[in-house]
Structure 1
């Protein structure tokens, strides 16, 4: 496990129903100045709650991802409401308003696929609580390209459909509670070396 952790350069978290609570539980447990960049897709419909609904660690900037923005350490990036968020091979973001995927825009699968292509084995992909099956294919892609994959424990998830689909299709490396997901992220942080 440690070999994978030592390679991680970015963390993806995808969630839907129940996600605001789950994300805040993770964010509040992370240390100040958490360096590893985190990219988040949260289904919110057309309304944005970002950043007012979230509590990042001190020293970490929480923003909506913007077109052509380069991914940096000490940042948590959210996909803007109503747009698919993609990551280019130069680790910059691009936004599209193409067709919904799994009835969602932003879609976890879209972002995860592009992140997997850009980061390969240097990516940690996490799927949390949610009420549809978005993210299952994306998690499988991350694993196929060598990344580390985690799904929230179904016993804890407020809505089980999303993590259950990710477990069935994605065969994740770990199925963990929110507390243990935070612990894994902190272990990754201990080995993180910035690309920038």
Structure 2
């Protein structure tokens, strides 16, 4: 069992209240994201129930290497999202290059070639907003390191739908702009270091108490 790390919420949300509540976790990352996701995904426990859906800003004209990078580090199955496939609990799905990743009713995954958002396709905002519509309070959204404002509007949609909002502490981010932009739109339930995030995820997955 990992040592306890205290986690406080500016909104008063208790981490223990999330045990068994979350059906999906969405994450968005850009500059520095491979390093941040390496910490988080390697800490997910076996038996982690929520589906994990991730947008990582990638070059549009090259194949993604994210599955090959993260599968050896992550206890869960890691895959590239496919259009119209059901959302799989306990599975990590990455948006493919040059496609927006959305959650549709079912829940199922959907891929779109709509216009880029914040110059990005896939867009974090698009994933977060669509997932908020489907999951509402059963969603947890994580904004990680990045150098643009993608994710800020999406996190606001998650907040409005009653979901759980988590932002990387800007001072710990490789690139603090994206976390700062998210926090400028309103308070997050948790503003955490990567180490604290790993413990929060473990509680969401029912691994242990904080």
Residue 3 of structure 1 deviates from its aligned partner by 3.3
Structure 2 residue ranges without an equivalent (≥5): 1-13
Residue correspondences, number: 190
**CA–CA distance in structure 1, aligned partners of residues 123 and 57 of structure 2:** 8
The correspondence of residues 40-189 of structure 1 with structure 2, limited to 5 A, is: 40-46=54-60, 47=62, 48-54=64-70, 55-58=72-75, 60-189=76-205
SS in 2 for 1:185: helix
Q: Tell me if the contact between 2:101 and 2:109 (Cα under 8 Å) persists in the aligned partners.
A: yes
**CA–CA distance in structure 2, aligned partners of residues 67 and 57 of structure 1:** 23
Counterpart of 1:39 (choices 53, 65, 81) is 53
**TM-score with structure 2 setting the length:** 0.87
Q: Tell me if the contact between 1:136 and 1:167 (Cα under 8 Å) persists in the aligned partners.
A: yes
**CA–CA distance in structure 1, aligned partners of residues 205 and 94 of structure 2:** 20
**CA–CA distance in structure 1, aligned partners of residues 51 and 198 of structure 2:** 14
SS in 2 for 1:155: helix
List, as ranges, runs of 4+ consecutive aligned residues in structure 1 with deviation greater than 6 Å. none
**CA–CA distance in structure 2, aligned partners of residues 145 and 120 of structure 1:** 5
Residues 4-28 of structure 1 deviation map (CA, whole Å, 9 limit, x = unaligned): 4442111011000000010011111
Q: Tell me if the contact between 1:56 and 1:62 (Cα under 8 Å) persists in the aligned partners.
A: no
Q: Tell me if the contact between 1:70 and 1:91 (Cα under 8 Å) persists in the aligned partners.
A: yes
Residue 30 of structure 1 deviates from its aligned partner by 2.0
Q: Tell me if the contact between 1:64 and 1:77 (Cα under 8 Å) persists in the aligned partners.
A: yes
Cross-structure match for 2:40: 26
In angstroms, what is the RMSD of aligned CA positions? 1.3
Q: Work out whether 1:16 is the aligned partner of 2:33.
A: no
